[in-house]
Amino acid sequence: MTTSNIKANPLGAALCEKKWARWTALALLASAMFFAYIFVDILSPLQELLQEQRGWDPVAYGHFAGSEPFLNVFVFFLIFAGIILDKMGVRFTAVLSGAVMVAGGSLNYYAVTQGFQDSAVAVFLTENLNLPSAWWNVTPFYAGMPASAKLAAIGFMIFGCGAEMAGITVSRGIVKWFKGKEMALAMGVEMAIARVGVAVVVVGAPVIASIVPVEVSRPVAYAVLLLIIGLICFITYGFMDKKLDSQGVQEEKDDPFRVRDIGKILRLPIFWLVALLCVLYYSAIFPFQKYAINMLQCNLQFSAKDAGLVFFIFPLGAAAVTPFLGHYLDKYGKGATMLIFGAVLMILCHLTFAFIVPATQSVIVTLTAVVVLGISFALVPAALWPSVPKLIDEKLIGSAYALIFWIQNIGLYAFPMIIGSVLVASNPGVTDPMKYNYTVPMCVFASCGVAALLLGFALKALDAKKGYGLEKPNHVADDAEKELIGAAESMEE
């Protein structure tokens, strides 16, 4: 994500001035992200089937689920992705990220097929990558991990590089086409479409897997197909982007990512408040998504299909509300308050899943908590991402986003594994995937919410002291910017 400006087109109305053209560009970019988010969670509703057909216990599943950010975090791929984006621009990076997602996704698919189970690669992986469960072993691999989970993790970490690269590229693409127009709305719509991807998965994956003969790899095959369509969307977008460049509307490339920028940003207390709030909040959302279906199955004794139907409302609710909250933030502000409110709602929901749902087994209570969690997941992202430019010097904003994403990825990496291990430790002797008690893992998620809430209060206090304008509407900044542009233009005249 950047705030790069667009140079004016001296040759008349550029493509981005035409509403249909910029919304078509958004549709192409958002479609590719939609397919990426589908792939991210394609195996989440199939935990039970993975255990039955491929022998993945919660620890294996947790290590697989946590592998996606591994290269981004430990090989600093996200930082490299930022540099590639800065140097090569949106068009190239979009196609590259699409291709990386297809490559990683295909490997992940092969790993969960029946064909892989009987292959020489499976024998090789069973004998290798058996790393001890020691503190220094930060990889997703451990002794006794099923070979299919090891290869799936390798594929998923390659996919993760493409997905995060696509994330920052799409944001920059939106800036390129929408700066000075409906940019906040466009970002809200893009995020909303991504959430619909998750909704499609939780309902669609169990249905596709359960077509006779029941097969866990089938939904993954469909998801890879969608990734290929996503790559085609990125390539098609490339033609529009090239046309825009040829009209003289080129991205003003950000200052490239510089190591000394890291020092400047890391010295800012406000950066740490935002980054830690982000990692804590998202660690209790994305990793939760990976366990939510199984948690609902265990608590309500539902099939994966029925649990998917209940959980479906979570991303769908978030999708419905996010653009409106983005618009609200633009118009009325209250960014810090929205973050606090979002954290409170998340704590309440996770505590409900921890204690009230298992005790009552009430579908109504569960549905209510799922809806409220969806509202929380609209409040925090809608307030968080547009607030960053208010806190960080504009010249450092690209680097700041890359660093926030990187810190966030540490949590997204660690939490699925932590939760998998906590689940096993709090359910000694349980091997039936329908019999897990999720109270302790849900309390872990709730405590992330409590920490995020405290950071939200600290952020609001620091904002009041230093006047970053977190509670102010975005259009105030836009108007000020317009005034500055107007003044600069009259000076030029």
Q: Which residues bind ligand L6ULR443 (CB under 6 A)?
A: 40, 68, 163-164, 167, 191, 194, 282, 286, 381, 385, 405, 408
Angle between helices 474-492 and 313-332 (to 10 degrees): 50
Alpha-carbon span 85 to 262, nearest angstrom: 17
Work out how close the CB of 40 gets to ligand L6ULR443 at its nearest, in angstroms, rounded to a whole number: 5
> How far from chain centre, in Å, is Cα 391?
22
Angle between helices 183-209 and 304-311 (to 10 degrees): 170
Residue closest to ligand L6ULR443, measured at CB: 381
Alpha-carbon span 212 to 290, nearest angstrom: 25
Helices marked H in 41-146 = 47-54, 58-66, 70-74, 77-112, 114-117, 120-127
Residues 6+ apart with CB under 8 A from 261: 255, 396, 399
If the CB atoms of residues 62 and 433 are measured against ligand L6ULR443, the closer one turns out to be 62
Q: Which two tokens stand for residue 214?
A: 């029941």
If the CB atoms of residues 163 and 296 are measured against ligand L6ULR443, the closer one turns out to be 163
- Residue 111 and residue 148 in contact, taking contact as beta carbons nearer than 8 Å: yes
Work out how close the CB of 22 gets to ligand L6ULR443 at its nearest, in angstroms, rounded to a whole number: 20
Work out how close the CB of 292 gets to ligand L6ULR443 at its nearest, in angstroms, rounded to a whole number: 15
If the CB atoms of residues 365 and 418 are measured against ligand L6ULR443, the closer one turns out to be 418
Q: How far is CA 411 from CA 286, 288, 397, 418, in A?
A: 10, 12, 21, 10
Work out how close the CB of 97 gets to ligand L6ULR443 at its nearest, in angstroms, rounded to a whole number: 12
If the CB atoms of residues 308 and 326 are measured against ligand L6ULR443, the closer one turns out to be 326
Reported for 264-269, long-range contacts at CB under 8 A and 24+ positions apart, including other chains, are 264/393, 264/396, 265/392, 265/396, 265/399, 265/400, 265/403, 266/403, 268/391, 268/392, 269/462
Work out how close the CB of 269 gets to ligand L6ULR443 at its nearest, in angstroms, rounded to a whole number: 22
Alpha-carbon span 111 to 247, nearest angstrom: 46
Work out how close the CB of 381 gets to ligand L6ULR443 at its nearest, in angstroms, rounded to a whole number: 4
If the CB atoms of residues 271 and 302 are measured against ligand L6ULR443, the closer one turns out to be 271
Work out how close the CB of 430 gets to ligand L6ULR443 at its nearest, in angstroms, rounded to a whole number: 29
If the CB atoms of residues 122 and 329 are measured against ligand L6ULR443, the closer one turns out to be 329
**Bridge partner residues of 6 (DSSP):** 251
If the CB atoms of residues 99 and 440 are measured against ligand L6ULR443, the closer one turns out to be 99
Work out how close the CB of 432 gets to ligand L6ULR443 at its nearest, in angstroms, rounded to a whole number: 30
If the CB atoms of residues 210 and 408 are measured against ligand L6ULR443, the closer one turns out to be 408
Alpha-carbon span 465 to 454, nearest angstrom: 17
- Residue 57 and residue 51 in contact, taking contact as beta carbons nearer than 8 Å: yes
If the CB atoms of residues 210 and 289 are measured against ligand L6ULR443, the closer one turns out to be 289
Q: 3-state class of 251 per DSSP?
A: strand
- Residue 382 and residue 183 in contact, taking contact as beta carbons nearer than 8 Å: no
Work out how close the CB of 384 gets to ligand L6ULR443 at its nearest, in angstroms, rounded to a whole number: 8
- Residue 202 and residue 315 in contact, taking contact as beta carbons nearer than 8 Å: yes
Work out how close the CB of 289 gets to ligand L6ULR443 at its nearest, in angstroms, rounded to a whole number: 9
If the CB atoms of residues 302 and 377 are measured against ligand L6ULR443, the closer one turns out to be 377
